[in-house]
Amino acid sequence: MNLNGKQVTILGAGITGLEAAKHLAVSGIEVVMLERTSQPGGQAAALSCKAVDGCVRCGACMVQERLKEIMRFPNIRIISDARVAQIARQYGFTITCESNKGVSTTHSDAVLVSTGFQAYDPSAKPYGYGYIPDVITTLEAEALLKRHGKIQRPSNNQEPKSIAFIQCVGSRDSRLNHPWCSKICCGSSLRMARLIQHRQPGTLATFFYIDVQTFGKNFQHYYDESKNTIQMIRAIPGDIFKTSDNQMLAAFFDPQTQKAGEAVFDLVILAVGLTPAKENVELARLLDFPLTPWGFWRSHRDGATGRAKGIFTAGAALGPMSIPECIDSAGQAAWDIVQFLGTT
Amino acid sequence: MPFQKETLILGSGPCADQLVGHLAAHGVSVRQVTMSGAAAVNLPTISGGKPIQRLDGAQLVQCQGIAGEFSVVLDDGTKPVRYKVSSIVVVPECLHVPNHDLYGLNPSEKVLALSALEKMLQRGSVQAIIPTQARVVFLNSWSIDPHPVMAQAMLQGCLEMQQKLDVRTFFLCGNLKVSVDGMEACYELAKKAGTAFVKFSDRFPVLVPLADGRIQIDYWDETTRMEYRLVADLVILDEQIMPDPRLADIVRQLRLESDDLGFAQSDNVHRLPNWTNRRGIFVAGGARAVLTEAALSVDANQTAQNVIAFLSGLDRAPLPKVEIDPGRCARCLTCYRLCPHAAITMEPRMIIHAEACQSCGLCVAACPNRAIQLQDSTLETAFNQQAGQGAQAQAQSSDCIPRIALFCCSRSAAQARELAKSMGHQLPASLRFVEGVCGGTFSVRHMLTAIEAGLDGILVLTCHEGNCHSGKGPHEADKRVREAARLLTGAGIAPERLQFTTLAANMGREFAEVVNGFEEKIKALGPV
């Protein structure tokens, strides 16, 4: 199918957008990627490699790989620090975007929304996030690992002796109306705990959970091994307090003793869930495309007709997805775009 | 533009049939082997596309050749026939095996596997085998974790029974798997509809068949800390979802990597989604993983896309050529055995096929006769300048500044180096840098020559085990460093001057740490 001369604008240059761009470029399509931040790569680019003795299949390195791969395509152009200001609809899409290089206008025959997710802000949870410095999110822990290679307590830059990993913060939460599992947190937290124990031997790790979710093909083996070094508690703490000696006290209902349990930690890492990006509402308005009741993007496959024609959606913008799932989703969207452009 | 040669599809089922339909519609001639005696269901209807050649129940008995020019022999039980195909997609369905053994329960009218229940629900025949107000118990594995795809099917079956029939459902599990789209919402619905969920962590239920065939379940509930007895009118067992056992033979015939579970794709993120160690051979659906129904459909689409990109020659960038010098080749088959991409054939000369070769250089480094050359001169040039003879002419090593060469894999360590530089990490001043496509490119000769040329230490950096594009890069590099270190020891040189370390592309900080640590070590050892 000859699609030379066709143009597609991709909103968001994370793993999903990059993978889709590659597929589209192969078909000869001119691709313009608009990236909100200063660099392509998205949120997965901020993740650290979790390898201990060998690769643990976290997939974080795949972003670098995709970035390198798309460089061979002259028909992919990336505009960073971009903000979509206006979208006009007539014979396709005319997108006005503002970046620090000024205002530019691109015309495209189709648009792919791959704007990703926003991590849940746990300030509203009773975990002291925001005012206890040693309560941090998984993303902040990733940043610490990336910067120092080790985990330090933000309050005193010392290495913690004990760490609590609290799962499902902002996920599987009916009170928040978040009836979804964020899919990636169990895997990322357990891999992170084992990386820290590998680099900072003797660190005690406690994992608070509802149900441990499967990640990776070799899950059972990895999970069984994790149980040897990580204390697993099937409960989610109700509260976290700061003690007088600068530790965090987590109060929870211990299912084993059937009593209120307490434990103190040097550091608490909250596995914050994947939620819809707050920019979705404005972008959906510009595109005149429906969102789900929760604010994620609908799949273009759910009856994208009328005004929604020519708009495609993929990746974690649709709901929580792992990196491999984002790659599949990008492949699907690119395929659908190629079919669409081939018939218009 | 129609594609000249056929593509062979091994497998049937929804994913295979959707893929076949897409390829045919895009002008690809397809030959589909359904792997079972029965004709495949859901036959795609194609208008205006290429016709599909179908062989029901045939077996792949041989595969020769390389990407673009495979020669396969298919045997349908009557006579083996040879076909020329340009690409191959392996796409069988997974096998479902009911967990009777796991629970120690025999199949009966009161003990059904999920697949059997699904069929009965479709036909509306479940009511006939259960009393009104029946207690229906779903068993979803507690001692080992079920696959989320199985948990999804169990949960959906449970919800349907609870909502539509006059029953009381119980869902017994260890970790409830909800990491599939919509499953947490489905779990909430089932709870609201009246399903009782009981989860076990370390004390597991005891199942005893009664004389009337019903199953008595004694369990300890973690939430209330009490013993309970439940007599089930109907027990629904979950199933193991596993790769088709015939996949093992296909993997062998096609010389594919496989994973620990028996799927025809190694557990390596760089093979995702549909790539294998061999160019032109793809895996989809049940050949690569257990996938949900929705994911199987997605996979059919993206596989079609990846196959078409390959057939159009756009699946990869041009690579440096690797060639065998027939004058030097002793046909020892070292390269043939080592090549992770099955790109080398003997006919009767050893030939490296550019169409299949990924230019990893494993064979170049391993050839005992140095008969294989990487046509890309950048590696040897860089080596000569940085670590070989060229290095000799440069400044003498001194006690305080050791001369160190880094041999780096282009996909991991070389990128980590760029990252380290961009992050502003300090690196030793006297570093020499040699980059190869894969860490397996570097030979024992490279290492020894560099030491001979006056270098004080060599650090070989590759990706982590399990993350290599060539599959065996880190393993081979490690082996060669050990071999070179052994030879150095024999010559009275400290083997610590050679070091092998693995790094990922995103480990800029670790790169600096490893390199600076190595410099410290070499400083302490002093000049050779």
pLDDT at B323 (0 to 100): 94
pLDDT at B392 (0 to 100): 57
How many CB pairs below 8 A link A and B?
156
Domain formed by A7-116+277-342, architecture: 3-Layer(bba) Sandwich (3.50)
Residue B2 pLDDT > 80, yes or no?
no
pLDDT at A323 (0 to 100): 96
Query: What backbone torsions phi and psi does residue A324 show, to the nearest 5 degrees?
Result: -60, -40
User: How do residues B308-319 score in pLDDT, each as one tens digit?
Assistant: 999 998 888 888
pLDDT at B528 (0 to 100): 84
Q: Which two tokens stand for residue A287?
A: 């595109």
Instruction: Write out chain B residues lying below 8 Å of A39, CB-based.
Output: none
B467: nearest CA in chain A? A55
Backbone φ/ψ region at B253: left (φ over 0), alpha (ψ -120 to 50), beta: alpha
Q: Which two tokens stand for residue B57?
A: 């129940």
Q: Is residue B135 classed as helix, strand or coil in its secondary structure?
A: strand
A7-116+277-342 and A120-274 in the same fold: yes
Least-confidence region, from A108-112, A209-213, B75-79: B75-79
Same domain, B415 and B516: yes
Average the pLDDT over B12-21 and give the result. 95
**Do residues A317 and A117 touch, judged by C-beta distance below 8 A?**
yes
Of B144, B178, B225, the CB nearest to A211: B178
CA distance A261 to A254: 5
In chain B, how many domains are there?
4
ipTM for the complex shown? 0.94
Q: Is residue B365 classed as helix, strand or coil in its secondary structure?
A: helix
Contact state of B309 with A327 under an 8 Å Cβ cutoff? no
Write the CB contacts of A74 (distance below 8 Å, at least 6 apart in sequence). Answer: none
Residue B42 pLDDT > 50, yes or no?
no
- Quote the mean pLDDT of chain A: 94
Residue of B183, B180, B189, B122 whose CA lies nearest to B162: B189
Average the pLDDT over B360-368 and give the result. 95
Of A53, A147, A214, the CB nearest to B179: A214
Contact state of A219 with B145 under an 8 Å Cβ cutoff? yes
- Whether B278 is in a domain gets the answer yes
B188: nearest CA in chain A? A179
Contact state of B305 with A45 under an 8 Å Cβ cutoff? no
**Do residues B7 and B24 touch, judged by C-beta distance below 8 A?**
no
**Could you give the count of Cα atoms lying within 13 Å of A179 in the half-sphere of its Cβ?**
15
Contact state of A234 with B201 under an 8 Å Cβ cutoff? yes
Residue B225 pLDDT > 50, yes or no?
yes
- Whether B1 is in a domain gets the answer no
pLDDT at B46 (0 to 100): 41
Same domain, B16 and B69: yes
Least-confidence region, from A175-179, B27-31, B392-396: B392-396
Same domain, B233 and B122: yes
pLDDT at A64 (0 to 100): 85
The residue extents of the domains of chain A are: 7-116+277-342, 120-274
**Do residues B24 and B30 touch, judged by C-beta distance below 8 A?**
yes
Residue B347 pLDDT > 70, yes or no?
yes
Q: How many CB atoms lie within 10 A of CB B223?
A: 11
Q: Which two tokens stand for residue A306?
A: 């009328």
% of chain B beyond a pLDDT of 70? 94
User: How do residues B403-412 score in pLDDT, each as one tens digit?
Assistant: 999 999 999 9
Contact state of B302 with A328 under an 8 Å Cβ cutoff? yes
Contact state of B302 with A172 under an 8 Å Cβ cutoff? no
Contact state of A331 with B261 under an 8 Å Cβ cutoff? no
Same domain, B21 and B161: no
Residue of A3, A22, A26 best to disrupt the B interface, most CBs of B under 10 A: A26
Of A45, A147, A179, the CB nearest to B188: A179
Q: How would you list the strands of the sheet with B498-502, edge to edge? A: B431-436, B404-409, B457-462, B498-502
Going by pLDDT thresholds of 50, 70 and 90, the confidence category of residue B385 is: confident
Same domain, B367 and B381: no
Query: By residue range, what is the domain housing residue B118?
Result: 96-240
Beta bridge partners of B136: B169, B234
- Quote the mean pLDDT of chain B: 91
Same domain, B266 and B230: no
**Do residues A226 and A233 touch, judged by C-beta distance below 8 A?**
no
- CA B197 to chain CA mean position, Å: 35
Instruction: Write out chain B residues lying below 8 Å of A26, CB-based.
Output: 309, 312, 314-315
Query: What backbone torsions phi and psi does residue B158 show, to the nearest 5 degrees?
Result: -65, -45
User: How do residues B90-136 score in pLDDT, each as one tens digit?
Assistant: 999 999 999 999 999 999 999 999 999 999 999 999 999 999 999 99
**Single-letter amino acid, residue B146:** P
To the nearest whole angstrom, how far is the Cα of A15 from the nearest Cα of chain B?
13
- Whether B387 is in a domain gets the answer yes
Instruction: Write out chain A residues lying below 8 Å of B509, CB-based.
Output: 146-149
Helix (H) or strand (E) holding B140: strand B134-140
CA distance A159 to A151: 6
To the nearest whole angstrom, how far is the Cα of A180 from the nearest Cα of chain B?
5
User: How do residues A232-289 score in pLDDT, each as one tens digit?
Assistant: 999 999 999 999 999 999 999 877 677 788 899 999 999 999 999 999 999 999 999 9
Cβ within 8 Å of A, B 243-302: 259-261, 263, 267-270, 272-273, 289, 295, 298-299, 301-302
- Whether B506 is in a domain gets the answer yes
pLDDT at A177 (0 to 100): 96
CA distance B473 to B328: 25
> Helix/strand/coil (H, E, C) string of B59-125?
EEEEEEEECCEEEEEEECCCCEEEEEEEEEEECCCCEEEECHHHHCCCCECCEEEHHHHHHHHHHCC
Residue B173 pLDDT > 70, yes or no?
yes
User: How do residues A152-210 score in pLDDT, each as one tens digit?
Assistant: 999 999 999 999 999 999 999 999 999 999 999 999 999 999 999 999 999 999 999 99
Average the pLDDT over B332-341 and give the result. 96
Instruction: Say yes or no: domain A120-274 is CATH 3.50.50.60.
Output: yes
Residue B391 pLDDT > 80, yes or no?
no
**Do residues A257 and A144 touch, judged by C-beta distance below 8 A?**
no
Same domain, B328 and B305: no
- Whether B122 is in a domain gets the answer yes
**Do residues B244 and B92 touch, judged by C-beta distance below 8 A?**
yes
- Cα dihedral B263, B267, B272, B275, rounded to 10, equals -60
User: How do residues B472-485 score in pLDDT, each as one tens digit?
Assistant: 999 999 999 999 99
pLDDT at B49 (0 to 100): 62
A71: nearest CA in chain B? B317
pLDDT at B328 (0 to 100): 96
Range list of β-strands (E), B185-324: 196-199, 206-209, 215-221, 226-232, 234-237, 239-242, 281-283, 322-324
Residue of B102, B150, B302 best to disrupt the A interface, most CBs of A under 10 A: B302
pLDDT at B425 (0 to 100): 93
Alpha-helical segments (H) within A230-322: 280-287
CA distance B372 to B357: 13
Residues written for chain A? 344
Q: Which two tokens stand for residue B342?
A: 């099955």
Helix (H) or strand (E) holding B445: helix B444-452
Contact state of A26 with B315 under an 8 Å Cβ cutoff? yes
Of B201, B305, B502, the CB nearest to A335: B305
To the nearest whole angstrom, how far is the Cα of A86 from the nearest Cα of chain B?
32
pLDDT at A306 (0 to 100): 75
Residue A142 pLDDT > 50, yes or no?
yes
CA distance B285 to B17: 11
Alpha-helical segments (H) within B124-197: 148-164, 183-193
Residue A1 pLDDT > 80, yes or no?
no
Same domain, B186 and B248: no
Q: Which two tokens stand for residue A12?
A: 């968001």
CA distance A104 to A194: 47
Alpha-helical segments (H) within A230-270: none
Of B188, B267, B309, the CB nearest to A217: B267
B466: nearest CA in chain A? A55
CATH number for position B249: 3.50.50.60
Write the CB contacts of B212 (distance below 8 Å, at least 6 apart in sequence). Answer: none
Contact state of B273 with A59 under an 8 Å Cβ cutoff? no
Residue of A141, A130, A131 whose CA lies nearest to A165: A141
Strand A76-79 relative to strand A30-34, pairing: parallel
Instruction: Write out chain A residues lying below 8 Å of B145, CB-based.
Output: 212, 214, 219-220, 223
Strand A7-11 relative to strand A30-34, pairing: parallel
User: How do residues B510-527 score in pLDDT, each as one tens digit?
Assistant: 999 999 999 999 999 988
Counting Cβ atoms within 10 Å, is residue B10 exposed (0-12), middle (13-18) or buried (19+)? buried
> Helix/strand/coil (H, E, C) string of A167-218?
EEECCCECCCCECCCCCCHHHHHHHHHHHHHHHCCCCEEEEECCCCCCCCCC
Of B222, B259, B273, the CB nearest to A331: B273
User: How do residues A52-101 score in pLDDT, each as one tens digit?
Assistant: 889 999 998 899 889 988 988 999 999 999 999 999 998 899 999 999 88
Instruction: Write out chain B residues lying below 8 Å of A54, CB-based.
Output: 464-467, 502
**Single-letter amino acid, residue B15:** C
**Do residues B433 and B408 touch, judged by C-beta distance below 8 A?**
yes
Beta bridge partners of B408: B435, B461
Going by pLDDT thresholds of 50, 70 and 90, the confidence category of residue B38 is: very low
B318: nearest CA in chain A? A72
Q: Which two tokens stand for residue B382?
A: 């860089």
Residue of B184, B199, B292, B316 best to disrupt the A interface, most CBs of A under 10 A: B184
**Do residues A302 and A283 touch, judged by C-beta distance below 8 A?**
no
Of A149, A179, A329, the CB nearest to B509: A149
CA distance A322 to A44: 10
Whether B397 and chain A come into contact, CB under 8 Å, resolves to no
Contact state of A179 with B269 under an 8 Å Cβ cutoff? no
To the nearest whole angstrom, how far is the Cα of B291 from the nearest Cα of chain A?
11
Average the pLDDT over B154-170 and give the result. 97
Same domain, B517 and B384: yes
User: How do residues B254-307 score in pLDDT, each as one tens digit?
Assistant: 999 999 999 999 999 999 999 999 999 999 999 999 999 999 999 999 999 999
Tell me which residue has tokens 């957008």: A17
CATH number for position B353: 3.30.70.20
User: How do residues B418-449 score in pLDDT, each as one tens digit?
Assistant: 989 988 999 988 889 999 999 999 999 999 99
**Single-letter amino acid, residue B16:** A
Contact state of A255 with B222 under an 8 Å Cβ cutoff? yes
Query: What backbone torsions phi and psi does residue A220 show, to the nearest 5 degrees?
Result: -55, -45
